[in-house]
A and B are shown apart, each in its own frame.
Chain A
Amino acid sequence: MKGEADSAVDRSKAKDGPAGGSETGGEKGDTPTRWIGTRPVRPDGVDKVTGRARFGADVHLPNMLVGKVLRSPHAHARIRSIDASAASALPGVKAVITRDDFEDRPSEFVPAGEMLVNYRDMVRNVMAREKALYEGHAVAAVAAVNERIARQALSMIRVAYEPLAHVIDVDEAMAPDAPLVHEDLITAGVEPPPTAPSNIAKRIEFVHGDVSKGFAAADIVVERSFRTCPVHQGYIEPHACVASFSEDGQADLWCSTQGHFVVRGHCAKLLGMEVSKLRVIASEIGGGFGGKTVVYLEPLALMLSRKSGHPVKMAMTREEIFRATGPAPGTHIRVKVGMRNDGRIVAGEAELKYQAGAFQGSPVQAGCMCAFAPYDIEHVKVIGHDVVVNRPKAAAYRAPGAPQSEFAVESVIDEMARKIGMDPLQLRLANAAKEGVKAAYGPTFGPIGLVETLEAARDHPHYRAPLAPGQGRGIASGFWFNIGGQTCATLNLGEDGTVALVAGTPDIGGSRASLCLQAAETLGVDATRIRPRIGDTATLGYTFLTGGSRTTFASGMAVIEAANDMIRQLRKRAAMIWDIDADAVRWVDGEARPAGANAGEFTPLSLAEIAGSAGKTGGPIVGRAQINAQGAGPGFGTHLVDVDVDRETGRVSILRYTVIQDAGRAVHPDYVEGQLQGGAVQGIGWALNEEYIYDDRGRLQNPGFLDYRIPVCSDVPMIDTVIVEVPNPSHPYGVRGVGETPIVPPMAAIANAINDALGIRFTDLPISPPKVLKSLREIG
């Protein structure tokens, strides 16, 4: 696999020169590199395979208590009263908390890092106040000396519920007579504002050109409706944390999170603390996929610790994860595309309805912006609705919002290609967004790699491989923005010349390895001499979370800048030792050299030599960077998939799968390939089997991996990958984020392949065996 994957890096716009020395810092992607693009063993690998790595539930403190949560059995109910007196009196119980322990917050959207957060909603999501808004909504929590007593205490808490009618389906929630999730919710984005409340939190609209003109110019128009089920991120490690409050009001919090600075901000707000009094330490993380960007247990553990005076550990069960944590929204999407007979797309229109869950804030806006992003279309109109329903609040899940809308659009594009008898790949090439094209959602694209991924797909042996009778092949492309944002990094030079790299972005996909490689490349030292750590919130300045595919890009830029900061200091120290001007010292291949003959004749000084004498030349050497990374390059990918369908049982098998994606520059290709393969696998589950099944009272029937069917290893073939490299000009080495784009194309690629095999267009996900068999029987 390694060898094949190596040869699959398609450096289409970057020359791969011989490895060798290079001038310091800030090379562009077409410069030869020594470390960028190599595949060393990841620095956290050994501890993970031996079980030594510490995850969220692995922290143990003296006198630690166990915290457990009482959750609503109702999908929607008013909470008349909560009587926790018996539970509080149970020996071994040290604290009980309810809504009364959290101060209410005003309803306003305030920035938290790159996100807008409404703390009135957040305080209600972590602990129900007036109403329980979904089955599994936290209603109370206890801390006790052991789990058995904690559970017993939960059973002694008396909650008087007044069950209310509930609504989960997005269309039912939008109906005029739907039960109201919030009695005071007035739709935003509608002029004049409605006078009556509804479950539609927001209406948004993106318009580009004039679609009526576009459709008038079209020879064919296809309009279809699509439905997708909510899906869970499926991270293997449950949410877990340990909180420890001191008597002086300071606290430490260990947790499994994608962003401990964001956790600090949220928790400090919910507990009424100054952020500097709360230190958050990110544990190793067993998967997040966007789902660990929010807080659930953390504020409860802190409150229980504050109230009890003991450290408190909390960890969710798998069942709690399914009942109470954020899935990607279920959606109903209508797409209409107009095309000329020559294959040119002239108009695109879509209406998106996304389930936000119990509180507003579904990723419908991103869904609107991404829907037609892969295409150069003159006339586009996309309308989105953010709809509250009685389900856990939606949380980010890889490219949040995009997989649903692009599934719909990529399915329609495929249908249109078939209608005019054009190869769907050629149709995409003919309409692909490229540099200079104004995206439907606003900006004009810089250098992007969609065309390159399509060409690589066209030239891949997979695309021409013969299919057996009855099998089908599908193709789909996908887009995601990628982001940068606030980021700090520090490089601490040790006295032996080794370097401690401190980053603030938790490593969920191998980013520590990628950061080391970028630091090594810039410093010109061996990557194995750089040891990366994720610093806690007291160690670094504010650093936004690992999300938006930003870490290798943004923390990478910070690390490069910190390395350049260190190089400036190293040149100064060498200049001091040689008694020449700092400008007369160059940093090449990890050592200080005189800049030229005029500078004088000196033996080069290595990093270790300068480090060893730092005490005599001005003290410790630390490279720092605090940046707001700009210019994240958009990510595009194209997926090819072959399927076979058992026509008697409706079961779809994935026979072959190839992911092609533009990585800008693959810093550590193993982890780029891992992202590509992981996205495909999650997409296969989303396409074929994953769904939440509710009873008529809104209670989840499949809260576990047995009946919420993410794929197992034997369900998927080895996923082939091709990394295309169209460098991002904003990053010194050309890096683009790669983590999210891979989840966007699979659902359409698979639906298109099934259509190729059966001649049946499936518009509702998942395309599960009963649905397939039913459709096969209908066509006879």
Chain B
Amino acid sequence: MRYESPETTEAAVELLAGEGPRCRVLAGGTDLLVQLRAGMISPERIVDIKRIRETQEIRVDDGALVVGAAVSGAELGEHPQAKGIWPGVVEAAELIGSTQIQGRATLGGNLCNASPAADTVPALIAAGARCRIAGPHGMRTIPVEDVCTGPGQISLGAGEFVLAFEFPVRPPRSSDAYLRFIPRTEMDIAVVGVGINLTLDEGGHCVSARVAVGAVAPTAIVVEKAGATLVGTRCDEQTLEAMAAEVRAACRPIDDKRGTAEYRTAVAGVLAIRATRIAVERARNA
């Protein structure tokens, strides 16, 4: 096994394309190193993308946030503007692991590990974030929800890797929130996770809303109907219940060691309501 740490996107693409499927991208390594040690993977080559400048940047261009794929949760949390613009995305990133893990774990890794329970993915999908992907044929940009295709499976081709996340410019009175359920208070993996991103008008009516749920299907899913339920309302309790019903209807979970399908479905609705309340409160003050 060889370890490479290229400093340019082009060099990384070349290294990744050269070895084919037996090559793995290393960002924070908090999943990759565990899988290596457990003998789950045995790649020929590991390409560390952390030395590529674009993967490490956090920028705000005319109100649009751009976060490099290898930015750690701790760096994102400490950025002076990121949390103010996308509090839901940042709180999702900060939920991952311990203080030590926070110094390593990245948005890019959390997405491309393709766990259905990844915390940042529902928040990123709800936010409408897009991935800037580098590859042998140049750059392309796709919605976050198009990256994961199943547990451990992603749509990226040979030689491709996620370079950065691009977030849309936010209208006034917009905010987001992410909540997950775990049996413990930290150091755990989501049994259910719900991200919501919404915009209110001056009268406090919801003008747009996007709800995404994790750990209830093979990949994190957008629940269009749940968002649509909120639009035009003041997100009153009755509407929230209707929205939660849409979320529950969209859940296709399995029974596993982390929870039963029945439990996940029930709690997905509960978290959707609670996250919406938080996002509405934030949007009013945004």
Binding site for B on A (CB under 8 A): 151, 648-651, 688-689, 693, 701-702, 706-707, 709, 711-712, 714-715, 768-770, 773-774, 777
Contacts and interface: CB of A to CB of B under 8 A. Distances in A.
Contacts of B183: 651, 688-689, 709, 768-769
27 contacts: A151-B39, A648-B267, A648-B270, A649-B267, A649-B270, A688-B183, A689-B184, A702-B257, A706-B187, A707-B257, A707-B258, A709-B184, A709-B188, A712-B184, A712-B185, A712-B186, A714-B184, A714-B185, A715-B185, A769-B181, A769-B183, A770-B262, A773-B263, A773-B266, A774-B262, A774-B263, A777-B266
B181 to A, nearest CB: 6
Contacts of A715: 184-185
A693 B257 contact: yes
B233 interface: no
B189 interface: yes
B29 to A, nearest CB: 17
B253 to A, nearest CB: 12
Given A649-B181, A768-B183, A706 B188 contact: yes
Nearest to B258: A707
Contacts of A774: 262-263
B259 interface: yes
A769 B184 contact: no
Contacts of A693: 257
Contacts of B188: 706, 709
A414 B189 CA distance: 35
Identify the interface centre among A688, A693, A714, A769: most chain B CB within 10 Å of its CB. Answer: A769
A701 B185 CA distance: 22
Contacts of A702: 257
Contacts of A712: 184-187
Identify the interface centre among B184, B258, B263, B270: most chain A CB within 10 Å of its CB. Answer: B184
B260 interface: yes
Nearest to A650: B263
B245 to A, nearest CB: 14
Contacts of B187: 706, 712
A714 to B, nearest CB: 4
Contact of B257 (A650, A701, A773): A701
A345 to B, nearest CB: 36
Interface string B168-210: 0000000000000101111111000000000000000000000
B266 to A, nearest CB: 6
Contacts, number: 49
Nearest to B263: A770
A543 B267 CA distance: 54
B186 A714 contact: yes
Identify the interface centre among A648, A701, A768: most chain B CB within 10 Å of its CB. Answer: A648
A702 B189 CA distance: 13
Interface string B41-64: 000000000000000000000000
Give the secondary structure class of A's interface: loop
Contacts of A151: 39
B116 to A, nearest CB: 15
B263 A711 contact: no
B71 to A, nearest CB: 24
Contacts of A714: 184-186
Contacts of B257: 693, 701-702, 707
Interface string B237-278: 000000000000000000011111011001100100000000
Nearest to A651: B183
Nearest to A701: B257
Contacts of A768: 183
A753 B262 CA distance: 26
A535 B189 CA distance: 44
Task: Give the top 5 A-B pairs by smallest Cβ distance, nearest first.
Answer: A770-B263, A714-B185, A648-B270, A693-B257, A701-B257
Given A648-B270, A649-B267, A649-B270, A770 B260 contact: yes
Nearest to A692: B257
A649 B268 CA distance: 10
B229 to A, nearest CB: 19
A711 B184 contact: yes
A755 B188 CA distance: 27
A763 B189 CA distance: 27
Nearest to A716: B185
Nearest to B37: A317
A688 B188 CA distance: 15
Contacts of B259: 770
A739 B39 CA distance: 39
B91 to A, nearest CB: 16
Identify the interface centre among B39, B185, B256, B262: most chain A CB within 10 Å of its CB. Answer: B185
A718 B40 CA distance: 39
Contacts of A689: 183-184
Nearest to B187: A712
A164 to B, nearest CB: 25
Nearest to A766: B183
A774 B266 CA distance: 10
A287 B259 CA distance: 30
A701 B39 CA distance: 17
A705 B134 CA distance: 37
Contacts of B185: 712, 714-715
B31 to A, nearest CB: 12
Nearest to A155: B39
A649 B184 CA distance: 12
Nearest to B264: A770
Contacts of A769: 181, 183, 263
Contacts of B258: 707
Contacts of B184: 689, 709, 711-712, 714-715
A317 to B, nearest CB: 9
A712 B185 CA distance: 8
A702 B259 CA distance: 12
Nearest to B98: A712
Contacts of A770: 259-260, 262-263
A12 to B, nearest CB: 37
A706 to B, nearest CB: 7
Given A648-B270, A693-B257, A712-B184, A706 B189 contact: yes
Contacts of A706: 187-189
A715 B185 CA distance: 6
Nearest to A653: B185
A411 B263 CA distance: 26
Contacts of B270: 648-649
Contacts of B189: 706-707
A518 B270 CA distance: 57
Nearest to B186: A714
A649 B267 CA distance: 6
Contacts of A648: 267, 270
A760 B262 CA distance: 20
A768 B257 CA distance: 12
B113 to A, nearest CB: 14
Contacts of B260: 770
A768 B188 CA distance: 15
A769 B190 CA distance: 13
Contacts of A701: 256-257
Nearest to A319: B38
A649 B191 CA distance: 11
A648 B259 CA distance: 15
B281 to A, nearest CB: 18
A701 B256 CA distance: 9
B215 to A, nearest CB: 13
A688 B184 CA distance: 10
Interface in B54-98: none
A68 B270 CA distance: 47
A693 B270 CA distance: 26
Given A151-B39, A706-B189, A773-B263, 9 more contacts: A648-B267, A648-B270, A649-B181, A651-B181, A701-B257, A714-B186, A769-B181, A770-B259, A773-B266
Contacts of A773: 263, 266-267
Nearest to A688: B183
A254 to B, nearest CB: 25
Nearest to B270: A648
